[in-house]
Amino acid sequence: MSSEDYWSSTARCTIRERCKFMFNNELLSDVKFVVRDAEGGSESMKKIPAHRFLLAISSPVFYAMFYGELAEKKDSIDISDCDHKSLSELFRFVYSDEVNLNADNVMQVLYLAKKYMLPSLAEKCTDFLRENLDASNVFHVLPDAQKYEEKGLEDHCWEVIDKQANEAVKSESFVTIEKPVLEALVERESLTVKEVELFKAVDCWATNECEKQGLAAEGSVKRRILGERIVKAIRFPVMEEKEFADVVLDCDILTKKESFDMMKYFNSVLKSPVGFTELTRVGSRHRLTRFRSGKMGNGWGYSSGSDSLVVSVNKNIKLYSVRLFGSENNEYSVTLKVTDSYGIARATETGTFMSELFQSEGGDYHGFDIVFEHPMFLEANIKYFFEAVINGPPSWYGSSCPSRIEHSCGVTFLYSNRTPMRTTCQKGQFSEFEFTLN
């Protein structure tokens, strides 16, 4: 140790500055870590000088290593499970509370933070990952979040996947995920994804698995690798018939009977497909809110009569549910009938519903959803008559609704009145409609 080095360290005003000066410094070093140098090739090694005392007061693992019953006495310690840059960042944090994270080192630094029990460093890593997470890297981050039991980060990964599923399943890392992750993915109700794109991704994953195992990427082999849980979770009935014919049939993953039954379903020979759900994932559905913020209040009564509304749309849609107003902690008995302009009954739903608090783009209010047993097809430019017979205490209601509302997805809802009028196109019941583009 030179006197110049020593006086250089003591010239620093705070203990933090003095400790930071000692990072990667031979001055007073009493241990060296020998670690792989990733940039220098597989056989290249580097040494990092360190100070036992500083490491021990920061990490219980280092404390046990240097001062425990089986304390390490050697001056040089080999570390084989990381590279030089990652371990250097761990030490930088120990000496200075600073860390230089990037996409290349964050996962290994997180691993080291967990290994050496440095929770504040692990938190910095997960914060970095959250801030930089997107569709292109989420399937690279998710497995490690699960492995390191970072529940908050794992949940955030699934949130990104739900919102950006169309892009995420096309990322390079998607085909590398483990089968349990794929199973969890295809079973998620909240995915915002075109079902045909999800199927394409699943088929690519199966093809990649065949190549890894040295197997022919044939339909029956891919079906076996995927397993029934994954195949049955794909919602083939929500695809367009042309999509199904162009993409799914050629992959030969479905059995002949399944393919025939699906084609019969698309052509209305079968009312419902056997073994596959016909419900679009909730994440792919849209909601149309009739009333804006500040245009809802309480006190809509139900002493007699019904609430009716005439609805038409400019594009073909599938309607999944209608939301009605309620009031706090109250129960309502409701019969909802929907008929078209030809007088044909399209749906009738009857039941008892408990009101709950909803947060919508129009504001917070109490209400309940009436979900159709089968999604209802609404044809463009056809009028549909919604009539609700409601029994229960006074509820919330909306006012000042325009007769024409365009949703951001491009569907325009038009409202008109039907006699006898209690609800009108401007005021009353029918707060939201849940739908998908057909």
Number of other CB atoms surrounding residue 8 within 10 Å: 13
Question: Which tens digits make up the pLDDT trace of 330-365?
Answer: 999 999 999 999 899 999 999 999 999 998 887 899
pLDDT at 6 over 90: no
In a domain, 123, yes or no: no
On whether residue 272 sits in a domain, the answer given is: no
Beta carbons within 8 Å of 182's beta carbon, 6+ residues apart: 202, 205, 230
Is the pLDDT reported for residue 411 higher than 90? yes
Residue 22 lies in a domain: yes
pLDDT range class, residue 59, cuts 50, 70, 90:
very high
pLDDT at position 74, please? 87
Q: Contact at 8 Å (CB) between 114 and 148?
A: yes
Cα 206 to Cα 24: distance, rounded to the nearest angstrom: 47
**Domain of 91, in residue numbers:** 3-101+108-114
31 has a pLDDT exceeding 80: yes
- Mean pLDDT on 106-130: 95
Same domain as 422, residue 300: yes
Residue 134, pLDDT > 60, answer yes
- Domain count within the chain: 3
| Distance between CA atoms of residues 50 and 47, nearest Å | 10
Please tell me whether residues 304 and 403 are part of one structural domain: yes
* Average pLDDT taken over every residue of the chain: 91
* Any domain includes 125: no
pLDDT at res. 409 = 87
d(CA 284, CA 437): 9
The helix (run of H) or strand (run of E) holding residue 18 is: helix 15-22
Residue 386, pLDDT score: 96
**Do 410 and 336 share a structural domain?**
yes
Least confident of 5-19, 107-121, 270-284: 5-19
71-76: list long-range contacts, CB under 8 Å, 24+ apart: 75/30, 75/31, 75/32, 76/31, 76/32, 76/33, 76/34, 76/47
The C-alpha atoms of residue 293 and residue 57 are separated, in whole angstroms, by 55
Q: Is residue 424 part of a domain?
A: yes
Phi, psi for residue 369 in degrees, rounded to 5: -100, 135
Q: Is the pLDDT of residue 302 over 50?
A: yes
Q: Which of 268-272, 368-372, 406-410, 418-422 has the lowest mean pLDDT?
A: 418-422
Which of 112-121, 178-187, 262-271 bottoms out in mean pLDDT, i.e. has the lowest?
262-271
Binned at pLDDT 50, 70 and 90, residue 138 comes out as very high
**C-alpha distance from residue 3 to each of 9, 10, 26, 27, 95 (Å):** 10, 11, 13, 10, 22
The two most distant CA atoms of the chain are separated, in Å, by: 99
228 contacts: CB under 8 Å, gap ≥ 6: none
> How sure is the predictor about 167, in pLDDT bands with cuts at 50, 70 and 90?
very high
Contact of 335 with 434, CB cutoff 8 Å: no
The mean per-residue pLDDT over the stretch 223-247 comes to 95
| Residue-level pLDDT at 365 | 94
From residue 178, alpha-carbon distances to 160, 169, 214 in Å are 18, 14, 17
Average pLDDT over residues 89-101: 96
- Residue 213: the pLDDT is 95
Sorting pLDDT into bands at 50, 70 and 90, what band is 5? low
Name the band, by pLDDT with cuts 50, 70 and 90, for residue 41: low
Q: Rounded CA gap, 424 and 397, in Å? A: 11
What pLDDT does residue 10 have?
A: 63
Same domain, yes or no: 60 and 171 = no
Q: What whole-number distance in Å separates Cα of residue 180 and Cα of residue 431?
A: 39
Amino acid in the structure at residue 184: A
CATH code (residue 324) = 2.60.120.820
Residue-level pLDDT at 42 = 63
Residues 6+ apart with CB under 8 A from 61: 115, 116, 117
Whole-number pLDDT of residue 274: 78
Check pLDDT > 80 for residue 419.
Answer: no
Give the confidence band of 27 by pLDDT, cuts at 50, 70, 90.
Answer: confident
Residue after which a domain boundary falls, among 53, 82, 114: 114
Q: Could you tell me the two tokens for 49? A: 């000088």
- Kindly report the CATH number assigned to the domain that includes residue 208: 1.25.40
End-to-end CA gap in the chain: 77
pLDDT tens for residues 384-394? 999 999 999 99
Rounded Cα distance between 272 and 374, Å, is: 9
Residue 1 has pLDDT above 50, yes or no: no
- For Cα atoms 383, 379, 162, give the angle at the middle one, nearest 5 degrees: 120
Amino acid 7: pLDDT: 58
